[in-house]
């Protein structure tokens, strides 16, 4: 029965698919779903399966697939940190976008890209425009789309295990809110996924309470004096900013105006769809396509060919194969020794499921007894870091451990999602175990991934570096780093004073009061009232107020420099000074989480809070670091690799200019500047330009960005790059060798053998191929530097000298290690750490380590 019949819709519905959501869902649901030649097809498969289901069961007359645009949106102008916590689109997903769109067009489906906004904005606009004339079904589950719900607009997600249907009445009954209050609600509560902070200490229950008393943020602000003193204290510091958050959470309804209803009509299926499904090896979809063509007669050509193809190519898709039966686990009150055996270990609440070749065991006894039983076994776990973080079981020195998530990461470091369910779904028929037999599933998946690691020459990297590092990271997380709350408060007071001063000054220069944090209001002041001009526009057509634009306008009016200074102080306040003290434990220590599976280059990242982005430069960088202190009687020891990535480049390329400079202990940037400007003595500005070029070209910076960074023309930037590579010709040859190797193998490797797959390197799409080339160079050099710092962490952690001195690793930030040690032994610790770090890997140039000791991080880092 169609959805129209089930809901009693009066008109034939317009189906609006939230394509962006389903693309990501499919990609992460089947991370290893690939064509026989290795081309990733997971997102394509899920989308086509959904679309064919809709075409077959709903027989829609109008259906459109909507995706995000490619450029930044107006929301990034409003809040530069909007979605800044999200990783870049994985290469394996990006590679699927163009063939996905081509396939949809072959099925007669219009694909819309929401330029200037997001897919949700285009969907909201189309729903608003057409809901008066016909029913609208939004195919998706994104909570932002709840704003669109109306008498004639429903949300439907048929792709879940159990379909989810949301109507306006159901939404009101569930939340007590109206759809037009949803943006206000999200503004108050925030959205971690989009990096929207919300109002601190205002959760869903509190926000709903406010909106039941006052129907909108405007009404809440108007009736502020009616709030209790406690509520006023809670809201007052954030009342101005929450309206910016509402702009971020409110979906636009003025986009995609160029499309009429006829543009959204479903067209005929092109006969080329058959060849398309065969080309990408979607065997089960061939039968669905044939069933659709037979039912609707909508194939323009080759209609009979589909049926013939299915009959001659009957190989079933993975999910159509009947699965094995489930085996009930046997309760094991005490465990026998499993030494020498392979065991899958799965945590289920307070219980442990153990899978062996013969059976599944359910164990609920003491962890110490479990550890004794597993001594000498080969234990496969979903996430060893997760087990250690829970503090329930420590298998170090007890059993040989294999981490499934870590293995999947090393095999496909760009995937970003490594849950057991998604890894297993990607392996499909290769795992012949019932999915509810968790222990045996872990064992089967682990064995398969172990074989793949060995075949890819990655098993040594896993066992020798990454797995031992897991234990180090967990110990670092538990130790944490102490903060000085008084210093945080003093710094915050100073920053707030500066913000107040700058606010008053900016308002005076503008001739009116306005919200400086609002890009829209700021743009009106700068470009309409003060008459400044900017050539750069936002995707929505407004003149941009991005930092790069304002830096170019700094000489045109004094207000611009003040706005840039305001933004600098505002970032300190909102990102560090206000939220971080709330994260400290009773001992005043902050415990970040180190992410081992987050970057494709192998570098670590951190979150909750992100200490990787603590400001280190500028006037206020040292003061920010000085807020992190040693415990009483201790000191902090900071040891930092000097220009490690350039040293890696010198070693791997063998460029004589770089190697000679490093061997002689010269200032590498001054030496490069002398070559670029053909002079013996260079100015500070010339050295700065050389430094920008040295690091910029290492990360694949092109002439346009280099020109912006140096404040020079595009022509001059191109000339600089040409001179650089003519003088450092071996670097250019090395980059060319990396590219050639990537094209031949499809991947690149680091010094430690870490791999990164680059499916786009041989793409006919020039932009995709160039992007893959930049990734290749960046991965080889930066990934090798990451290998070195990780090896240094292992050596420092297990060093008997460091242990005897009672020092402990507490942070790793980029190329720097931070330790805490007794005050009397701190300098001895610094010397020992520097010695270890400089000798962990033999390069053709010296590995130089700068180190210092201090009562706080700022003093130690100087």
For 55-85, write each residue's pLDDT tens digit: 988 889 999 999 987 666 677 666 676 666 5
Is the predicted pLDDT of residue 307 greater than 80, yes or no?
no
Q: What is the mean pLDDT of the chain?
A: 86
User: Which domain CATH number covers 791?
Assistant: 3.30.70.370
pLDDT at residue 76, rounded to an integer: 67
User: Which domain CATH number covers 683?
Assistant: 1.10.150.20
pLDDT at residue 315, rounded to an integer: 38
User: Which domain CATH number covers 520?
Assistant: 1.20.1060.10
- Same domain, yes or no, for 376 and 506? no
Q: Are 514 and 625 in contact (CB under 8 A)?
A: no
- Same domain, yes or no, for 554 and 695? no
- Same domain, yes or no, for 454 and 348? yes
Prediction pTM value: 0.66
Report which of residues 10 and 351 the model is more confident about.
351
Question: Residue 597 domain-assigned?
Answer: no
- Same domain, yes or no, for 81 and 193? yes
In DSSP terms, 822 is beta-bridged to: 634
Encode pLDDT of 501-527 as tens digits. 999 999 999 999 999 988 888 988 998
pLDDT at residue 268, rounded to an integer: 87
Is the predicted pLDDT of residue 492 greater than 90, yes or no?
yes
Q: Are 161 and 175 in contact (CB under 8 A)?
A: no
Question: Residue 54 domain-assigned?
Answer: yes
- Same domain, yes or no, for 550 and 672? no
The answer for residues whose C-beta is within 8 angstroms of residue 185's C-beta and 6 or more apart is 175, 177, 204, 207, 208, 211
Confidence label for 86 from pLDDT (cuts 50, 70 and 90): low
Please count the other Cβ atoms lying within 10 Å of the Cβ belonging to residue 258: 7
Question: Residue 605 domain-assigned?
Answer: no
In the listed set 257, 285, 320, which residue is the last one of a domain according to the structure?
320
The total number of structural domains that make up the chain: 6
* Cα distance between residue 517 and residue 495, in whole Å: 16
* Cα distance between residue 700 and residue 570, in whole Å: 31
* Cα distance between residue 176 and residue 531, in whole Å: 46
Q: Which residue has the tokens 């909750």?
A: 608
- Same domain, yes or no, for 498 and 359? no
Question: Residue 127 domain-assigned?
Answer: yes
Angle at 50 between CA 48 and CA 54, to 5 degrees: 115
In the listed set 320, 339, 356, which residue is the last one of a domain according to the structure?
320
- Residue 605 C-alpha from the chain's centroid: 10
Confidence label for 322 from pLDDT (cuts 50, 70 and 90): low
In the listed set 249, 282, 299, which residue is the last one of a domain according to the structure?
249
- Same domain, yes or no, for 97 and 223? yes
Task: Tell me whether the omega of the peptide bond preceding residue 109 falls within 30 degrees of 0, making it cis.
Answer: no
User: Which domain CATH number covers 358?
Assistant: 3.30.420.10
- Same domain, yes or no, for 638 and 650? no
Distances (CA, A) of 777 to 444, 723, 747: 36, 20, 11
Q: Are 826 and 618 in contact (CB under 8 A)?
A: no
Tell me the percentage of the chain whose pLDDT exceeds 70.
Answer: 92
- Same domain, yes or no, for 793 and 758? no
- Same domain, yes or no, for 45 and 8? yes
Question: Residue 606 domain-assigned?
Answer: no
| Phi/psi of residue 347, nearest 5 degrees | -85, 130
pLDDT at residue 816, rounded to an integer: 95
User: Which domain CATH number covers 170?
Assistant: 3.40.50.1010
pLDDT at residue 313, rounded to an integer: 40
Confidence label for 301 from pLDDT (cuts 50, 70 and 90): very low
- Same domain, yes or no, for 846 and 833? yes
Question: Residue 77 domain-assigned?
Answer: yes
Question: Residue 484 domain-assigned?
Answer: no
- Same domain, yes or no, for 368 and 462? yes
Record the tokens describing residue 464, joined without a space: 């020798």
- Residue 649 C-alpha from the chain's centroid: 27
Considering only CA atoms, which of 432, 442, 434, 444 is closest in space to residue 327? 434
Please count the other Cβ atoms lying within 10 Å of the Cβ belonging to residue 8: 7
Report which of residues 309 and 216 the model is more confident about.
216
Domain that holds residue 32: 3-249
Report the pLDDT averaged over residues 752-778. Answer: 84
Report which of residues 619 and 127 the model is more confident about.
127
Question: Residue 822 domain-assigned?
Answer: yes
pLDDT at residue 748, rounded to an integer: 92
Is the predicted pLDDT of residue 138 greater than 60, yes or no?
yes
């Amino acid at each position: 029965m169609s959805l129209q019949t089930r809901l009693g819709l009066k008109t034939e519905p317009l189906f609006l698919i939230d394509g962006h959501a389903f693309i990501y869902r499919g990609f992460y649901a089947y991370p290893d779903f690939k064509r026989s030649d290795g081309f990733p097809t997971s997102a394509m498969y899920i989308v086509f399966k959904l679309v064919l289901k809709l075409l077959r069961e709903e027989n829609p007359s109008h259906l459109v697939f909507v995706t995000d645009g490619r450029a930044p949106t107006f929301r990034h102008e409003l809040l530069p940190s909007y979605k800044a916590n999200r990783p870049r689109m994985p290469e394996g997903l990006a590679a699927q976008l163009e063939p996905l769109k081509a396939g949809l067009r072959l099925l007669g489906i219009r694909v819309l890209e929401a330029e200037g906004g997001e897919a949700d904005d285009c969907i909201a606009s189309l729903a608003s425009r057409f809901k008066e004339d016909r029913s609208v079904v939004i195919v998706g589950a994104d909570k932002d789309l709840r704003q669109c719900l109306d008498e004639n607009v429903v949300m439907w997600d048929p792709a879940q295990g159990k379909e989810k249907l949301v109507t306006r009445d159901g939404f009101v009954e569930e939340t007590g809110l109206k759809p037009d209050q949803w943006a206000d609600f999200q503004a108050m509560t925030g959205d971690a996924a989009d990096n929207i902070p919300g109002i601190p200490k205002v959760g869903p229950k509190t926000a709903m309470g406010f909106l039941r008393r006052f129907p909108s943020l405007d009404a809440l602000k108007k009736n502020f004096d009616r709030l209790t003193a406690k509520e006023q204290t809670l809201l007052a510091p954030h009342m101005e900013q929450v309206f910016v958050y509402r702009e971020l959470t409110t979906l636009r309804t003025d986009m995609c105006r160029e499309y009429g209803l006829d543009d959204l009509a479903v067209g005929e299926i092109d006969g080329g769809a058959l060849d398309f499904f065969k080309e990408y090896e979607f065997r089960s979809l061939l039968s669905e396509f044939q069933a659709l063509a037979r039912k609707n007669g909508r194939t323009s050509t080759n209609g009979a060919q589909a049926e013939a193809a299915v009959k001659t190519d009957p190989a079933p898709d993975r999910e159509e194969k009947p699965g094995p039966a489930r085996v009930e686990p046997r309760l094991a009150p005490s465990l026998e020794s499993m030494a020498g055996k392979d065991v899958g270990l799965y945590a289920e609440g307070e219980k442990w499921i153990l899978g062996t070749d013969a059976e599944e065991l359910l164990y609920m006894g003491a962890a110490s007894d479990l550890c004794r039983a597993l001594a000498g076994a080969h234990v496969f776990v979903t996430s060893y870091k997760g087990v250690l973080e829970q503090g329930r079981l420590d298998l170090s020195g007890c059993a040989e451990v294999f981490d499934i998530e870590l293995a999947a990461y090393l095999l496909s470091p760009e995937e970003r999602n490594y849950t057991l369910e998604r890894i297993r779904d990607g392996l499909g028929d290769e795992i012949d175990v019932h999915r509810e037999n968790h222990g045996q599933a872990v064992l089967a998946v682990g064995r398969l991934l172990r074989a793949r690691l060995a075949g890819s020459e990655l098993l040594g990297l896993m066992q020798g570096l990454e797995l031992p590092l897991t234990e180090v990271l967990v110990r670092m997380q538990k130790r944490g780093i102490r903060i000085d709350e008084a210093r945080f408060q003093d710094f915050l007071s100073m920053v707030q004073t500066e913000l107040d001063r700058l606010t008053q000054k900016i308002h005076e220069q503008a001739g009116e009061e306005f919200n400086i944090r609002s890009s829209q209001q700021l743009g009106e002041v700068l470009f309409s009232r003060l008459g400044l001009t900017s050539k750069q526009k936002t995707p929505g057509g407004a003149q941009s107020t991005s930092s790069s634009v304002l830096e170019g306008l700094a000489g045109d009016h004094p207000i611009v420099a003040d706005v840039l200074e305001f933004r600098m102080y505002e970032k300190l306040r909102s990102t560090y000074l206000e939220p971080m003290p709330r994260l400290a434990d009773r001992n005043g220590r902050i415990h970040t989480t180190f992410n081992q599976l987050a970057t494709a280059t192998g570098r670590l990242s951190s979150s909750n809070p992100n200490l990787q982005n603590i400001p280190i430069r500028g006037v206020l960088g040292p003061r920010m670091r000085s807020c992190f202190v040693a415990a009483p009687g201790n000191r902090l020891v900071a040891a930092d690799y000097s220009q490690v990535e350039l040293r890696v480049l010198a070693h791997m390329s063998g460029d004589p200019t770089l190697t000679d400079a490093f061997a002689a202990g010269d200032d590498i940037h001054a030496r490069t500047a002398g070559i670029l400007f053909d002079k013996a003595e260079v100015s500070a500005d010339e050295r700065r330009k050389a430094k920008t070029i040295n690091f910029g070209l290492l990360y694949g910076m092109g002439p346009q960005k280099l020109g912006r960074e140096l404040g020079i023309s595009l022509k001059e930037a191109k000339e600089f790059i040409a001179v650089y590579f003519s003088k450092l010709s071996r670097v250019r040859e090395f980059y060319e060798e990396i590219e050639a190797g990537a094209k031949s193998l499809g991947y690149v490797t680091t010094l430690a053998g870490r791999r990164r797959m680059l499916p786009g390197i041989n793409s006919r799409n020039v932009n995709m191929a160039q992007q893959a080339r930049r990734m290749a160079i960046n991965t080889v050099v930066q990934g090798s530097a990451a290998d070195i710092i990780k090896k240094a962490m292992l050596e420092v952690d297990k060093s008997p000298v460091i242990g005897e001195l009672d020092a402990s690793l507490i942070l790793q930030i980029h190329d720097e290690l931070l330790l805490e040690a007794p005050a009397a032994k701190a300098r001895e610790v610094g010397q020992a750490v520097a010695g270890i770090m400089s000798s962990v890997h033999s390069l053709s140039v010296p590995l130089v380590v700068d180190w210092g000791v201090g009562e706080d991080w700022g003093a130690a880092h100087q």
